[in-house]
Chains A and B, each alone.
Chain A
Amino acid sequence: SAVISQKPSRDICQRGTSLTIQCQVDSQVTMMFWYRQQPGQSLTLIATANQGSEATYESGFVIDKFPISRPNLTFSTLTVSNMSPEDSSIYLCSASLGTSGIEQYFGPGTRLTVT
């Protein structure tokens, strides 16, 4: 298994600013992912964070708005840029072990409120 931590756990930000969320895994993992979850709703995949290359974004998400870094096999960051109230959400990172990616482990999430 893998233990995943995220920083910050929550934040309140002003419109137009940016926030970088950090995700740390306690072991080397093949793949890392970023999700968004509106309170009381399901998870939507934002992007796959690839080590050593650009992230792969899902439809509706773009690099300018959600730049992602993955400098090594245990760490990734997601930046929410030029925030608006619509970006208020819970942001979760996850990691999968091995190449099959069958079992994903999730961090506790970062609750973002944009005012």
Chain B
Amino acid sequence: GESVGLHLPTLSVQEGDNSIINCAYSNSASDYFIWYKQESGKGPQFIIDIRSNMDKRQGQRVTVLLNKTVKHLSLQIAATQPGDSAVYFCAGAVYNFNKFYFGSGTKLNVKP
């Protein structure tokens, strides 16, 4: 199956700064990758996804970068806000298998 792991378990940033959360994956067959945000006591919430034939995708205040050469994925959050404090998971999946394999998660702490 997919093995998706993260580089850092905890990331602390100052409010207003940009955040970068990294993720490494092992399965080259993954068709797409997804970032989820999980706040305490809640289920994961979809943030953004990217297909394997893309190297960048932008959303509202978030950008996902995919480097297939080194099997690396990152989530960039611009102008980080206190409401961004949560655990962020990356997940990889193979199209039509419809199963996601989650990484270990990075906790983002936003300091006021």
| A interface residues with partner B (beta carbon < 8 Å) | 4, 31, 33, 41-45, 48, 58-59, 92, 94, 96, 100-109
Q: Which residue of A31, A42, A92 contacts B98 across the interface (Cβ within 8 Å)?
A: A31
The 8 Å CB contact of A105, one of B46, B102, B103, is: B46
Whether A104 contacts B89 in the complex (CB less than 8 A), given A31-B98, A41-B105, A45-B101, comes out as no
Give the dominant DSSP class at A's interface. Answer: strand
Q: How far is the CB of B96 from chain A (nearest CB, A)?
A: 8
Which of A45, A103, A107, A108 interacts with B49 by CB under 8 Å?
A: A103
Binary per-residue interface labels of chain B (95-109) against chain A in the complex, 1 for a CB within 8 Å, 0 otherwise: 110111111110000
Shortest beta-carbon distance from A102 to chain B in Å: 6
Number of B residues near A (Cβ < 8 Å) is: 23
Residues of B contacting A106 in the complex (Cβ-Cβ under 8 angstroms): 36, 43-45
A residues within 8 A CB of B61? none
Nearest CB on A from B93, distance (A): 8
Name the residue in A44, A103, A106, A108 with the highest tally of chain B Cβ atoms < 10 Å from its Cβ.
A106
B83 adjacent to chain A (CB < 8 Å):
no
Ordered nearest first, which 8 A-B pairs have the shortest CB separation?
A106-B43, A101-B98, A43-B102, A42-B102, A42-B104, A106-B44, A108-B43, A42-B105
- Report A21 CB to chain B, min CB distance, Å: 13
Contact with A along B28-45 (1 / 0, CB 8 A): 000010101000011111
Given the interface pairs A42-B89, A45-B100, A96-B98, the reply to whether A4 lies near B43 with Cβ below 8 Å is yes
Query: How many angstroms between the C-alpha atoms of A43 and B4 in the bound complex?
Result: 11
Whether A100 contacts B49 in the complex (CB less than 8 A), given A4-B43, A43-B44, comes out as no
User: Given the complex, which residues of B lie within 8 Å of A107, measured CB to CB?
Assistant: 43
